[in-house]
Structure 1
Amino acid sequence: MTAQFEYSTLADPQDIQQLIYILEQCFITGGGGEEAYINLIGVENFRIIRGFGQLVGGLATLDMGQWWGGVRVPMTGIAAVGIAPEYRGSGAAIALMQQMLKELYARGIPLSALYPSIQSLYRKVGYEQGGSWCNWEVSTKSIQVREQPLPLQPIVSINHQVFHQLYQQQAKLTHGYLDRHPAIWERLIQPDEKETFYAYFIGTKDQPEGYILFSQHSKEDGTILRIKDWVILTVVAAQTFWSFLASHRSQIDQVRWRSSVTDSLTLLLPEQTAKLKNTMRWLLRVVDVVKALEMRGYPSGIETELHLEIQDNLLTGNNGKFILSVANGRGEVTKGGKGELQLDVRELAPLYTSLFAPYHLQIAGKLHGTETAISAATQIFAGSSPWMADFF
């Protein structure tokens, strides 16, 4: 089955209804959920693909930012990628992603990220594993942190604007964290129909040192406190966080939250009782090599250069040799150089995010480099394990 595909924005009311129908079938939803999602993201932020004389699929784009090395880099998140089942395998999904990436490149967007339903599709257009999304769980009875150095202030009127300043302080220091899209904030603070939502500042109302947003659920296997979002900026805030959760032990069996694969908060627990409940990796695509390398932050104590040779079969402006010069925590890219580190743009993603060290990528056959280049790349891309708290 072959076809010529046409990529465009979403505007026509009939197209909107057809895309809603496709997405409801793709994501097993109904009751107006997909229509509400399109309205939340904004019709103007959807892209569609036509083939065989009709609309066959579409996706959502979320323009936001991501923190790398303490610097915000513009990033477009891709969500709700859906192709009508009768046209899967026709090339429609690949065409949709290729055209979307060309659009992002033309707009000067450095990065794109997504959560894959099937990894192989997105690898074909240059995405690769970039970081983790993890759910942790701990029994309230095992927390055993009693000291509560700070007060907790209930937030009665919940508006995401009140959390922004605190969130950005933590996001800036967290490798891979989002500068969230308004729609992500909106969904975060809107409770589901069957849940009650609670929010507290940790510390005084005038000078909070963090916050916690959560809901409570009664399941067949026990009661669960699900933390929807959290910010912890100081050690006393961390102690208060755990003490507050421990105080729920008479009503709540388990606490669940999202954090890094290596969650430093668990160091405050007396025993290794916190467990990773599940984890997956999101994918990153370096859309514009020069912009991506120049806009992120780097370790401040190094001054070196890395000679790269990049291959990008889709976005040809990324092809060629580049010199990345790093000093004072910032990078500058010039064309040319020795090309001592050779890799596909796909393999640039886990190097860029510090998900894997250059040596391990080389062992996996994902890049080739001289000893000098591997050493320089190891210094340049040193960083904590990248993660996101948000699924989009």
Structure 2
Amino acid sequence: MTNFEFGPVSDSLEAEGLGEILCQCFLFPGKLWPLYRDRLGVENFRFLKQDDKVVAGLTLYQMGQWFGGESIQMAGVAAVGVSPEVRGSGAGFELISQTLKELYSQKIPLSTLYPATQRLYRKAGYEQAGSRCLWEVPIDSIRLHDRSLEVVAVKKLEAQVFQDIYNQAANQTNGNLDRNQAIWENVFDHNEDEVYGYLVGGENPQGYIIFSQKTVNHQNLMEIWDWAATTPAARHRLLTFISDHRSQIQKVIWRGSVIDSFLLLLPEQTAKVAQLELWFLRIVDVVSALEKRGYPEGLEAELHLAISDDILPENNGNFILSVSGKKGQVSKGGKGDLKLQINALAPLYTGFYTPYQLQQAGHIEASNQSLSIASQIFAGSPSWMPDFF
């Protein structure tokens, strides 16, 4: 068994050693490391040492994630890198395991990440839990002409200008982030690309769009970095705004859900999926995660769970989830009618897979009655997010 030391980065030598590893792992220019380090904050980086040398590390995004209309504290895991000479030694699994134990001690219910490899993160209790889809549409196929709402350019792109609109749209969307400042900076900062922002709706904005224009493979395109609408009228106006670029721009792309309601407004099925990514979620604290989530209004139900967790033993055992008044209450015990490993709880929790689909994949064992109850409890919008970290 290899002995590793885990901890938070606390001095410049540790930060420099971790920076060298992450830049090599992710083909990241070394000159940009200080910007990334400072944007996230050095206190959010974790290292793994061997013989007093940093050999692996990662960073944590402290933010929230919306489920059932509630923002739940979540730690986003990013930039997980292991020095080449120690790969295959178990360093990656040790790094993730120790991070999860720290998150549990801090009472953080959830952790989310984009996996470079599924095997490692599944072993650590993560599972597919939501989507991030890149859509592309020929602009001349949009053909909307609704200009009833005013569109105003935003000269200074700052989070507070867009945040209220974003939250109104995001809080009813399972999986969307309750963004922190670093995620908002990712929305606005795209190296040398000029970024434009517009509000829809005059004095009482109902939507916004943030985008760049570029030429790729001899084709002009609009790349939407972020957009949101709180009313149907704002959705129509945003698509009309995009359509009004058709004299110079041939294509628009954006990140959305695999089931995207913007597509309902297109006259024909001209939207194509250019890329699909699945993000992973880990239930760090079973009781806290289930109690902080929102549930369907008017539902009165009780689900008996039997959960196994190889890393966090506090999550092992039988639990009763009682749902009433859109809230959940968890108690120990019960009949354990629905049996599952901790990783299978993630897509059930987010609603990304139905209980029946998880049963078909062999991820849960349950009676038909328990499957029916679980379907009602975890019903909601398909989980997705536009952000990458």
**TM-score under structure 1 normalisation?**
0.98
Name the CA distance, whole Å, in 2 between partners of 1:46 and 1:331. 33
Structure 2 residue 81 is the aligned partner of structure 1 residue 82: yes
Structure 2 residue 296 is the aligned partner of structure 1 residue 299: yes
After TM superposition, give the deviation of residue 256 of structure 1 in Å.
Answer: 0.4
Identify the residue that residue 11 of structure 1 maps to in structure 2: 10
Q: How does 1:136-285 map to 2 (within 5 A)?
A: 136-193=135-192, 195-204=193-202, 206-285=203-282
Root mean square deviation of aligned Cα: 1.0
- 1:296-336 deviation per Cα after TM superposition (whole angstroms, max 9, x unaligned): 00111210100000000110000000000011111100111
Identity, in percent, stands at 49
Runs of at least 5 residues in structure 1 that lack an aligned partner in the other structure: none
Identify the residue that residue 28 of structure 1 maps to in structure 2: 27
Identify the residue that residue 107 of structure 2 maps to in structure 1: 108
After TM superposition, give the deviation of residue 34 of structure 1 in Å.
Answer: 2.2
Q: How does 1:342-381 map to 2 (within 5 A)?
A: 342-381=339-378
Counterpart amino acid of residue 26 in structure 1: C
Q: Which moved more, 1:144-153 or 1:70-79?
A: 144-153
Identify the residue that residue 42 of structure 1 maps to in structure 2: 41
- 1:207-259 deviation per Cα after TM superposition (whole angstroms, max 9, x unaligned): 01100000000122401100011011111111111111011111101100111
Identify the residue that residue 94 of structure 1 maps to in structure 2: 93
After TM superposition, give the deviation of residue 187 of structure 1 in Å.
Answer: 2.1
Runs of at least 5 residues in structure 2 that lack an aligned partner in the other structure: none
Name the CA distance, whole Å, in 1 between partners of 2:121 and 2:158. 35
Structure 2 residue 379 is the aligned partner of structure 1 residue 382: yes
Counterpart amino acid of residue 159 in structure 1: E
Identify the residue that residue 314 of structure 2 maps to in structure 1: 317
After TM superposition, give the deviation of residue 53 of structure 1 in Å.
Answer: 4.1
**SS, match of residue 8 in structure 1:** strand
**TM-score under structure 2 normalisation?**
0.98
Structure 2 residue 302 is the aligned partner of structure 1 residue 289: no
**SS, match of residue 206 in structure 2:** strand
Name the CA distance, whole Å, in 2 between partners of 1:268 and 1:14. 54
Name the CA distance, whole Å, in 2 between partners of 1:60 and 1:53. 20
Q: Is the Cα–Cα contact under 8 Å of residues 23 and 30 in structure 2 kept in the other structure? A: no
Name the CA distance, whole Å, in 2 between partners of 1:316 and 1:31. 40
Structure 2 residue 320 is the aligned partner of structure 1 residue 326: no
Counterpart amino acid of residue 358 in structure 2: L
Name the CA distance, whole Å, in 2 between partners of 1:173 and 1:328. 17
**SS, match of residue 242 in structure 1:** helix
Aligned residues: 389
